[in-house]
Amino acid sequence: MFGRKKADQSSGSTAVRATAVKDSTDSSDRGAQSAATGGKKGRPTPTRREQEAARRRPLIPEDRKAAKEESKQLERERRAQAQAGMAAGDERYLGPRDAGPQRRFARDWVDSRFNIGEYVLIVLLLIFVVMFLPVQSAALTLIYVVYGYVVLCVLDAVITTTRMHSAMRRKFGTVQRGTRWYAAMRTFTIRRLRLPKPQVRRGERPA
C-alpha cells in the first residue's frame, strides 16, 4: 500500500514537471514568434525562405536596361552640377587653370573693367564678311580701321594686366606663373561667354 502511494506521488510529480516544461516551451515559442513579427499580432511569422529572399541583393540587376538608363541619368546630373559649379567659380569644380585665389583675383580684376578687346572676335568676323564686298576701296579702309582697333585691344590688355600684376604683388607677395596671360586672354572674351562667369560688376573693386 505504501509502495502504491509512493508510486502515485512520483507519477503526480512527473506530470506536474511535464506540464511546467510544456508551459515554458509554449511561452518561449510565443515570445520568439512575437519577436519575429515585431511584437505585432495577427501576422504570420515569415518563413526562412522569405527572410533569405528579403535579405538577398542581386549582384546583377534584373532589368539591365532600366539600370543603365538610371546610371546615365545620374551621370547627366553629375555633369550638370559640375558645370554649374564651374560657371559659379566654385573651387571644387575648377580645373588647374582656373583654381586658386590668384586666378580668382585675376578674373575679378578683368571683369570689373570694360575691355575694348571683348568685341574683337565680332570685329574679325566683320572683316571676313567685308572682304567679299565688291567695293574694294571701302573694304581696304575698313581693314585698316580694324587693324588699328586690334592694336588698341592689345595695348589695353597690356595696361590692364600690368596694373593687375602690381596689385597682386602687393596682395600676395608673389604672382603665380601664367596669370598675366590668363587675364589677357579673358580680356579678349565676350563678357557673357566667360567661364567661370563674372562674379563682380563693372566698376566694383576686386576683393
Q: Domain range spanning residue 171? A: 99-193
Residues 84 and 119 occupy one common structural domain = no
Domain end: 93, 108, 138, which one?
A: 93
Of 179, 183, 170, 193, nearest to 108 (Cα)?
Answer: 183
Instruction: Give yes or no for a contact between 196 and 119, defined as CB atoms under 8 angstroms apart.
Output: no
Cell numbers 560657371 correspond to 87
What's the number of domains the chain is made of?
Answer: 2
24 in a domain, yes or no?
A: no
Residues 69 and 122 occupy one common structural domain = no
Q: pLDDT of 96-144, one tens digit each?
A: 999 999 999 999 999 999 999 999 888 888 878 777 777 667 777 877 8
Of 160, 177, 179, 165, nearest to 117 (Cα)?
Answer: 160
Of 23, 65, 154, 51, nearest to 162 (Cα)?
Answer: 154
Query: ∠122-126-130 over CA atoms, to 5°?
Result: 175
20 in a domain, yes or no?
A: no
25 in a domain, yes or no?
A: no
**How would residue 21 be classed by pLDDT, with cut points 50, 70 and 90?**
very low
| Overall pTM surpassing 0.75 (yes/no) | no
